[in-house]
């Protein structure tokens, strides 16, 4: 499969699946597109984006690194695009990063009572990914419109709030553990 018509149809299908939350199927289709057309930077970025929604909680730190690297490559490939297309692509990519950041923050909260250290690991990876993507965007002199900037700011605040909650959960757990240890000797 390497006719432009087939790849364009597959891209449209994959984007539709991605927008409908069918991330696993979309990721497979984006994989096929990237294998057949290595220059398709959108498919390469969307493939990693979709993979952030499938997999295990323990995969999140690696997924965060992969998304950061994909974003950097995405911006590098965009250098030759016309300005309007570039701005639309960057806005879309940054919004996708914010969505993933919310997703990671949700997973960190979800695991905090069961496995607080896993939650902390997820949250740390999330904050690092988020901050690195913003730094990369600034390094490429990306203009971020106000709406996208607000979306990114809210995602950053959610991640920070999750980190604070996780620290409290770990501290309370440590205090309870210490008290129960002390009461066994009383």
pLDDT score of 148: 76
Residue pair 101/156 in contact (Cβ under 8 Å)? The answer is yes
pLDDT score of 32: 95
CB within 8 A of 67, min separation 6: which ones?
48, 49, 52, 97, 100, 129, 133
Task: Report how far residue 153's alpha carbon sits from residue 161's, in angstroms, rounded to the nearest whole number.
Answer: 12
pLDDT score of 22: 96
Q: Report DSSP letters for 94-141, one per residue.
A: HHHHHHHHHHHHHHHHHHTTT-HHHHHHHHHHHHHHHHHHHHHHHHTT
pLDDT score of 149: 74
pLDDT score of 76: 87
Task: Report how far residue 126's alpha carbon sits from residue 103's, in angstroms, rounded to the nearest whole number.
Answer: 9
pLDDT score of 137: 82
pLDDT score of 174: 66
Residue pair 28/88 in contact (Cβ under 8 Å)? The answer is no
pLDDT score of 88: 85
pLDDT score of 49: 95
Structure confidence by residue, pLDDT tens digits, 44-60: 999 999 999 998 888 88
pLDDT by residue for the chain (186 residues), tens digit each?
Answer: 557 769 999 999 999 999 999 999 999 999 999 999 988 999 999 999 999 999 888 888 899 899 989 998 888 888 888 888 888 888 888 889 888 888 888 887 777 777 777 777 887 887 888 788 888 888 878 777 777 777 777 777 776 776 666 667 666 666 777 777 677 766
């Amino acid at each position: 499969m390497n006719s432009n018509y087939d790849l364009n149809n597959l891209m449209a299908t994959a984007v539709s699946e991605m927008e409908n939350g069918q991330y696993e199927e979309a990721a497979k289709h984006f994989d096929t597109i990237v294998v057949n057309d290595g220059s398709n930077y959108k498919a390469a970025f969307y493939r990693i984006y979709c993979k952030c929604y499938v997999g295990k909680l323990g995969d999140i730190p690696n997924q965060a690194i992969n998304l950061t690297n994909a974003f950097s490559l995405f911006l590098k490939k965009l250098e030759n695009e016309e300005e309007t297309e570039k701005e639309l692509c960057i806005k879309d990519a940054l919004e996708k990063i914010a969505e993933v950041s919310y997703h990671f923050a949700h997973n960190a909260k979800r695991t905090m009572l069961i496995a607080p250290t896993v939650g902390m690991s997820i949250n740390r990876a999330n904050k690092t990914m988020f901050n690195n993507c913003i730094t990369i965007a600034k390094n490429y002199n990306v203009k971020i419109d106000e709406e996208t900037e607000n979306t990114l700011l809210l995602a950053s605040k959610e991640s920070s709030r999750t980190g604070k909650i996780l620290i409290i959960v770990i501290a309370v757990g440590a205090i309870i553990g210490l008290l129960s240890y002390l009461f066994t000797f009383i």
